[in-house]
Amino acid sequence: MLQTFQHYIDGQFEPGTAHFDSVDPATGQAWARMPAATSEDVNRAVRAAHRALTASPWRGLHASARGKLLARLADLITRDATMLAELETRDTGKVIRETRAQIGYVAEYYRYYAGLADKMEGRHLPVDKADMEAYTRREPLGVVAAIVPWNSQLFLSAVKLGPALAAGCTVVLKASEEGPAPLLAFAKLVHEAGFPAGVVNVITGFGHDCGQTLTTHPLVDKVAFTGGPETARHIVRNTAENLADTSLELGGKSPVLVFDDVDLESACNSIVAGIFGASGQSCVAGSRLLVQRGVADRLLAMLAEKAARIRIGSPQDLATEMGPLATRKQVEHLQRTVKASIDAGATLVCGGGTAEGFAPDSHYVAPTILDCPHADIPSLRTEFFGPVLSVIRFDNEAEAIALANDSAYGLASGVFTTNLTRAHRLIRELRAGIVWVNTYRVVSPLVPFGGFGQSGLGREGGMEAALAYTRTKSVWINTSDAPIPDPFVMR
């Protein structure tokens, strides 16, 4: 029998009136039954969030009390990290060694925002008007529609829920219909932590009934979305209906620049982690390798050798280093784009097809490297969301910068060089929201992230994200005891 999951709306767990089956990417077979939110379900969730925003006990809860609830939630995530990791692995195919490590760190994001809850301060303003005091308050932005994809969903929801709840907002969290199990299970921890009914609602569902109803709802004040640019465009159009504030953390085609002065083994290990970790299913995947010509052949040979040794297998096995892609659609997109790239002149160094030895309906693909002779190869411009590395050579720093910035995306980048002055020049010149120097794919609750161009709007993480879930209220106080004169009497 299929395992069943429920929505969490207004403090209650509900089976839903419509359902769909979730597929295990390692087998291609259904393993769980999920509720599909109808327009009415979404409406009830948003109205519950609005009631919680405008009424006690949440509205009357002081900031440090909100922080204690977030800290309690962090403790529960730590307690149940193994269960959450196993669900994410089963529903998305992400290997268990990664889900366990990441979910353990997710709790630190909630702890960070627990500590920030009572530190989002207003300011006293020394205005140039006698007998006037002016100051600002930071107040909750309102009802937040948080929409996350299936990859790293507990992390991607933490960078929305954490700051939103710390700021005093209420949330309707929409889990992706592709692998929603861990977030629907996470709702039980929200309930156990003691958040008042309606403060956090967790649903999943499809386009018009769920996504469009949520993003156009008149009671939604902010949409925080992580996903692809096409869906983001629909969301921007939808928010024209309610004028909701919007933050968008979108895709990437992140460049990794390797100069000829580096330790190639160290750079190689970072590149492998950046593109083949999580099977390449990461917004910040370092999918474009720009390497200085003098070391390109050596580095390419090292990468091919390491790719061949990656252990592909069951995502539930701790020895597995790379699991399946989450959906059949991704596999087909990857295969089409690899073929188009070879047709355009790229050389297939390794991979390029499905990995051998697995069930025919599974979603396993081999780690793939393409050697690209020029910048117009499709693989250098298309986001795969899979384990495909496209390599192109450069001769000098100016060429490297031009190639790196030749993209509609601008989420992340990596620079490998021992030349400190060069590193600082590149940090300044690269059009990306993150620049990692001699490392890759490192995160912290303290550090904001987000993109340029089609990689999105706004930032997540750090104090910057917390303030984005507030709005400023200006306050003027007349401190004079003298009566205000009649403005229409001439003196």
Within a domain: 478: no
Digit-coded pLDDT (tens) for 379-397: 999 999 999 999 999 999 9
**Quick one: what percent of the chain has pLDDT higher than 70?**
100
Compute the distance between CA of residue 168 and CA of residue 316 in angstroms, rounded to an integer: 38
Name the domain boundary from 214, 233, 250. 250
Same domain, 138 and 39: yes
Catalytic residue among 88, 98, 178, 249: 249
pLDDT at 299 over 80: yes
Digit-coded pLDDT (tens) for 461-482: 999 999 999 999 999 999 999 9
pLDDT of residue 473: 97
Within a domain: 476: no
Parent domain of 344? 255-437
pLDDT at 104 over 90: no
User: Contact, 407 vs 433, CB < 8 A?
Assistant: no
Helical (H) or strand (E) element with 342: helix 328-343
354 pLDDT band, cuts 50/70/90, is confident
Q: Which two tokens stand for residue 42?
A: 């979404």
Exposed/middle/buried for residue 186 (C-beta within 10 Å: 0-12, 13-18, 19+):
buried
Same domain, 12 and 146: yes
pLDDT of residue 56: 86
Same domain, 285 and 202: no
pLDDT at 42 over 90: yes
- DSSP code for 9: E
Within a domain: 401: yes
Digit-coded pLDDT (tens) for 146-199: 999 998 999 999 999 999 999 999 999 999 999 999 999 999 999 999 999 999
Sheet of 222-226, strands arranged across: 12-14, 7-9, 200-204, 170-175, 143-147, 222-226, 245-249, 456-457
CATH assignment at residue 298: 3.40.309.10
pLDDT of residue 287: 98
Same domain, 153 and 245: yes
Within 293-360, strands assigned E span 347-350
- Rg, C-alpha atoms of the chain: 25
* 45-51 average pLDDT score: 98
Q: Which two tokens stand for residue 95?
A: 């290997």
pLDDT of residue 281: 94
pLDDT at 452 over 80: yes
pLDDT of residue 353: 82
Within a domain: 451: no
Within a domain: 461: no
Rounded mean pLDDT of the chain? 96
Whether 399 is catalytic: no
138 pLDDT band, cuts 50/70/90, is very high
Compute the distance between CA of residue 167 and CA of residue 187 in angstroms, rounded to an integer: 20
Within a domain: 117: yes
Same domain, 75 and 179: yes
pLDDT of residue 58: 97
Which residues partner with 476 through β-bridges? Answer: 134
Number of domains the chain contains = 2
2: phi > 0 → left, psi -120 to 50 → alpha, else beta; which? beta
Q: Which two tokens stand for residue 406?
A: 């030749």
pLDDT at 491 over 90: no
Angle at 36 between CA 32 and CA 385, to 5 degrees: 70
CATH assignment at residue 57: 3.40.605.10
**Quick one: what percent of the chain has pLDDT higher than 90?**
94
pLDDT at 490 over 90: no
- DSSP code for 208: I
Digit-coded pLDDT (tens) for 409-451: 999 999 999 999 999 999 999 999 999 999 999 999 999 999 9
Within a domain: 447: no
Same domain, 371 and 267: yes
Exposed/middle/buried for residue 211 (C-beta within 10 Å: 0-12, 13-18, 19+):
buried
Same domain, 93 and 148: yes
* 1-27 average pLDDT score: 95
Name the domain boundary from 250, 266, 290. 250
pLDDT of residue 208: 87
Within a domain: 485: no
Same domain, 240 and 260: no
Same domain, 186 and 321: no
φ, ψ at 382 (rounded to 5°) = -100, 130
Same domain, 260 and 209: no
How many CA atoms within 13 Å lie on the side-chain side of 271?
33
* 77-94 average pLDDT score: 96
Query: 380 by DSSP, 3-state: which?
Result: helix
Same domain, 238 and 345: no
Taking the CB of residue 31, how many other CB atoms lie within 10 A of it? 15
Q: Which two tokens stand for residue 113?
A: 């925002």
Same domain, 294 and 217: no
* 54-59 average pLDDT score: 93
What's the first-to-final CA gap in the chain, in angstroms? 87
pLDDT of residue 360: 86
pLDDT of residue 176: 96
